Amino acid sequence: MASVGDKLGPYTLHERINAGGQSEIWLATDEENRSFAVRLMLNDSMFAFGDRRRFITGCETLQACQDGHYIIGYVEHGKIGGQLALVMEYVEGENLKLLMNAGDPVLTENIAEVLIEFASALEVVHDRGFMHLDVKPENVLLSRNGSLRLIDFDLAQPIPNPPRKLDRLSGTPAYMAPEQLLKQPVDHRADLWAYGVSAYELLTFRKPFPGENADEVLRRQIDRSEFIRPREINGDIPADLERIVLRCLEKDMERRYPITSVLVHELKQALYQS
């Protein structure tokens, strides 16, 4: 277990800023006193095959998706000071889930830019040939000056053509597309569904298909009798923006946006002309 002051190669750990079941993230500085976020894998034993594979695949996907704007910056990954680690850009800010729960003005006052940049981040990932598969507000950071970064690529996979069934059901059920929960073939359009759920939540402070478990979420996705359109909750939402969110939430993936660039284009039209 890492501690304040520990050295990993050229990096000194200063503060643990996040922790989960598989890893923890530390604020660190290098020998030139530059700040970085260092993610450490907690179970690095030789028998943790699945965890190590996901960690390394996530690092490699992040490295392949660098754009300098909307994706968290990649520095290096591998064994550093004897420990499996990922070194990233350090962003002073919070994820969208925390900002939403706090009603933080950095989110509410920049919501149009956030929605466009969030979709633009997915456009980068998809254009590089990957689907993220864990799109949700918790995996999007927003700095104090409103700069957005998509994070956590552990579940990412190459976009299949044609769509194919996933080997395992991983992620957060509230943001999973119906085809994922039904264990049917998926492609990048599962990310567009998750974006639609996230956008709905950021605009209304509610989930479109709430549920205590995956089965209840799926029932609400398919049935829709209890579904409330975003503008019924928040009348300030532009009609064109509601139309875009609803298209992302089409239960038939063929009715969603075929490519993410079309989503980004329509968001810009809807929000910059509002």
Question: Which residues participate in catalysis according to the annotation?
Answer: 134
Residue 180 CB partners (closer than 8 Å, separation 6+): 166, 169, 171, 186, 190
Residue 254 corresponds to which amino acid?
Answer: E
d(CA 95, CA 87): 18
Three-state DSSP at 168 gives: coil
Q: Tokens 């532009």: give the residue.
A: 238
Which candidate, 38, 60, 56, places its Cα nearest to that of 48? 56
Reduce the DSSP state of residue 129 to 3 states and report it. coil
Q: Would you say 80 and 74 are in contact if contact means Cβ atoms under 8 Å apart?
A: no
Give the position of tokens 């006052």. Answer: 109
Residues 6+ apart with CB under 8 A from 185: 160, 162, 163, 164, 165, 179
Distance of alpha carbon 161 from alpha carbon 113, whole angstroms: 31
Distance, CA of 96 to CA of 203 (rounded, Å): 12
